[in-house]
Amino acid sequence: MAAEMVGGGGRKRSVEISFDQNYNIQWGGSHFKSLNQGKEIQLMMDTSSGSGFVSKMFYGSGFFHMRIKVPGRDSAGVVTAYYLTSRGDKHDELDFEFLGNREGKPYTLQTNIFIDGEGNREQQIHLWFDPTTNFHDYQVLWNQHQIVFYVDDIPIRVYKNKRILGLRYPSKPMQIETTLWDGESWATEGGRIKTNWSYAPFKANFQGFDVSGCETHQSLNDRHCGSETYWWNSKRYWQLNPAQHKQYENVKKNYMTYNYCNNKQRYPKTHLECQD
């Protein structure tokens, strides 16, 4: 952790710190490069390997972010992922997945939520900017009331805690993971467009390695992680404010390309969590 300061939207942010204070290389060490004295990390992927890194700690709530610039040019089949995940077969997981595309065509940003090992809660958007040219901030708020995915402080997805209706909600301690890997079997047009390895190595860059989260043990989500002494658990973050709600509705109207809640062919019965 590092000294905090207030960032956009009133959220507290930490001053810039180096990668190795909170993270370790997880795999593909030869495809990993540290830049700017550890303030920036580059992951690479070629035919031999992808790469990834993971947080040293587990967290039971928090406001998590990573500044990311995804691979450019022809990136079809390439998946850049930033997510929170618990361990074990019945794991919880909160995903950002950037699905590459042919040069000149838009990336798809897919989010997904796993609870007790069950996912299939995909939503997809096309971003209002080119994510290959500059760094942008991708954020997850996770408390006992809601999970919110943000892009540059703009909410793009909200998942409410509806345990009162008997629905499950992510509650297991999770680590932060970031990976660059080959998803050509599904990532671009359902796998119809394959990875063009002549453009390898593919490179994704990351910044922002401070973590605002309640540290806990892998096997125990401590009750104190729900305490309102943590700013992300305060009443202010139990729901979107009016300005955020307006931004969220704009994203759904103008940028969302797929929502599992609306896929009646795949899910004839409406999911309870999709009912407002």
All domains in the chain, ordered by first residue: 4-274 (2.60.120.200)
93 is catalytic: yes
pLDDT at 12: 52
Q: Provide the CA 8 distance to its chain's centre, in angstroms.
A: 18
249 is catalytic: no
Q: How confident is the model at residue 276 (pLDDT cuts 50, 70, 90)?
A: low
Residue pair 234/144 in contact by the 8 Å Cβ criterion: no
147-204 residue pLDDT tens: 999 999 999 999 999 999 899 999 999 999 999 999 999 999 999 999 999 999 999 9
Phi, psi of 245 (to 5 degrees): -60, -40
User: Which one, of 196, 200, 225, 186, lies nearest residue 62 by Cα?
Assistant: 225
Instruction: Report, in this order, helix, strand and coil percent for the chain, each rounded to 5.
Output: 20, 40, 40
Rounded to whole angstroms, how far apart are CA atoms 142 and 58?
13
Catalytic residue among 40, 93, 184, 273: 93
Residue pair 149/156 in contact by the 8 Å Cβ criterion: yes
User: Which one, of 177, 210, 145, lies nearest residue 12 by Cα?
Assistant: 210
pTM value is 0.94
192-250 residue pLDDT tens: 999 999 999 999 999 999 999 999 988 766 789 999 999 999 999 999 999 999 999 99
Radius of gyration for the alpha carbons in the chain, expressed in angstroms and rounded: 18
Residues 6+ apart with CB under 8 A from 156: 109, 111, 125, 149, 150, 248, 251, 255
Question: What does DSSP assign to residue 104?
Answer: T
pLDDT at 113: 97
Catalytic residue among 4, 40, 97, 177: 97
Please report which residue ranges of the chain form alpha helices under DSSP H: 242-254
- CA angle 164/168/169 to nearest 5° reads 95
